Chain A
């Protein structure tokens, strides 16, 4: 006997069994068809040549519970363990999807079914009078509590020391310490400054996260840490702390990919990362375009920056305009009064000749130079110029090329979802333009809340929890910092 996910082709067999089992209380065929095909359900069948039994679970959107919708076993095979196998399979799915509670209804008096559910840990919590029609029989409501793992995640890939705590898909804490101010006088992130700051910040940030979650160290079930991509010296601080914690708590450790963590942050918002999706991650350290078909199993890098990250370009142009670090918010502020069409700055790697090799890559170095030349020329000639127009036109060029390429990817890969992540998402104009273009193209836009978009520990914890809930083996103790970790490696061994 094998258990597999039901498909449309199995509908006739399911309905045949459904009608024989439930007679005049059986579901309509169209109800069953839409249940089986819904993205929010998981229907399985036990087969031995033909269908012997079926069962379905509903996990709706960003909730922490799921419902057993139905279960049925061939009458002469009832009591042979098929129902138990189907239920166990559904509970695996409920666990993996982050459910903390599973509910079901069962006909009062169906003692064999009630016995099965009780043996699986379900408890009776309520009665629904006259639930079944037309018979008018009562339903018992039963509940199973699932304990999802509490995972502490450490992020130290760049200039933010982040410690997040999740329980399954639930955000419990997201503590952050940024060394941004220390980098301000240098106009950009200095790796050694960042690494020194991580070491000073790690203990207070751990304490802050535990306090925010209202938990103690003993409540932690696993430790996750981003081991790349990022700055080596910075990564090593997080790794050292994560390994020390895992050792002293005697808990498993998961070394996870920072970029996949950005994509996975959305599980904390809506219970799952809806796939397939194109993901555009834009920060001071990264500009990456990803095709995600499955968060844990299938993420592909379509393109990335070949020189500066978009956030770096903002910092550099801010300097050209005499604005302080970090440049993003400064440019945004000044650009508010500017004309985005005043100067046509170049859109890197968007010419026909770039399409073969660089269709999804980005380049912002030429843009930054073009802005600098423009400003120097005007300053040399002692001409008055509008900083606002320069800032607005520069910002428009960056946003245009980011979104143009992201939407190309949606079109080429037939994906109608776009997920944004990374600190540059703070840019109001980027969000506004992304909304406009996505709406125009019929693409669903996802932007997690800002504190989950910038570098943070919660997304690392969430990805670790996803791996754990999926039954993955923990990482060993031998992993190191991988500054160029490819996005295809979700977890290091």
Chain B
């Protein structure tokens, strides 16, 4: 069985047997990742009457995402997978969203906060550019794409990991995708006297 986790938007988990979705849950609270992550995982296992011993892999959304919550899912996935030596799959969430769509050419966008968007463009399911972070005014310059703006969740992440493994695509990279540098600049120090 494959457990999938995503904390790139809300907190969600899903459980798959082969390509069959057994159970899934989604907490939309954009801040409660640390609180909800274990409840979500526990819940999908219980709903499917499954145990961690039956898992063969864990898929996790690795961003891009703006919240500190993204890291909660990745940390949990790494810690879940290591003791049982499960396969760990890192899924770029815009790819996962794109896989759910049938349109020929789509521009997947998600909220990057601070008035910006994360975007990636796809033609016939193949990523043409991105992921990158842009101002919304730039969307019009991205060419002839149909815009898809939905948040990712664990169902999409899990489905993508299964599709990728069926198509021989490597998802070993599990580092978080931030696309922005830490919001800080070295300061030379200020004078205190006038």
Contact = CB atoms under 8 A, between A and B. Distances in A.
Contact of A376 (B33, B73, B78, B191): B191
Contacts of B184: 186, 190, 192-193
Given A187-B187, A199-B176, A479 B35 contact: yes
A185 B76 contact: no
Given A186-B186, A248-B52, A236 B84 contact: no
B82 interface: yes
B133 to A, nearest CB: 15
Contacts of B71: 195-196, 198-199, 233, 236-237, 240
Which of B38, B84, B183, B184 has the most C-beta atoms of chain A within 10 angstroms of its own C-beta? Answer: B38
A376 B52 contact: no
B182 interface: yes
Interface in B142-194: 175-176, 178, 182-184, 186-187, 189, 191-193
B78 A202 contact: yes
A264 B15 CA distance: 40
A415 interface: no
Given A203-B82, A245-B79, A240 B193 contact: no
Interface residues of B, number: 39
A480 B32 contact: yes
Q: What band does the interface of chain A fall in when counting residues whose beta carbon is under 8 Å from B? A: 35 or more
A479 B36 CA distance: 8
B189 A245 contact: no
A193 to B, nearest CB: 5
Judged by DSSP, the binding face of B is helix
Contacts of A235: 34
B193 A373 contact: yes
Interface in B54-109: 68-69, 71-84
Contact of B42 (A190, A236, A477): A477
A394 to B, nearest CB: 14
Contacts of B127: none
A199 B75 contact: yes
Interface in A246-277: 246-250
A468 interface: no
A283 to B, nearest CB: 21
Contact of A240 (B72, B178, B183, B192): B72
B35 A206 contact: no
A240 B175 contact: no
Given A217-B83, A319-B189, A376-B192, A247 B75 contact: no
A207 to B, nearest CB: 8
B83 A243 contact: no
Interface string B101-145: 000000000000000000000000000000000000000000000
Contacts of A245: 79-80, 83
A118 interface: no
Contact of A236 (B69, B81, B191, B192): B69
A373 B182 CA distance: 31
Contact of B68 (A203, A236, A377): A236
A244 interface: yes
Contacts of A232: 68
Contacts of B82: 203, 206-207, 217
B37 A243 contact: yes
B168 to A, nearest CB: 26
B39 interface: yes
Contacts of B192: 369, 372-373, 376
B41 interface: yes
A77 to B, nearest CB: 50
23 contacts: A185-B186, A187-B189, A190-B184, A196-B178, A198-B71, A199-B74, A207-B82, A217-B83, A233-B68, A233-B71, A236-B69, A239-B34, A240-B33, A244-B41, A244-B79, A247-B42, A247-B80, A248-B80, A248-B84, A372-B192, A376-B193, A477-B42, A479-B35
Interface of A: 185-187, 190, 192-193, 195-196, 198-200, 202-203, 206-207, 217-218, 232-233, 235-250, 319-320, 369, 372-373, 376-377, 477-481
Which 3 A/B pairs are nearest by Cβ-Cβ distance? Answer: A244-B79, A240-B75, A244-B76
Interface of B: 32-39, 41-42, 52, 68-69, 71-84, 175-176, 178, 182-184, 186-187, 189, 191-193
Given A199-B71, A240-B75, 12 more contacts: A190-B184, A196-B182, A202-B78, A203-B79, A236-B68, A237-B72, A240-B33, A240-B34, A240-B71, A372-B191, A376-B193, A478-B39
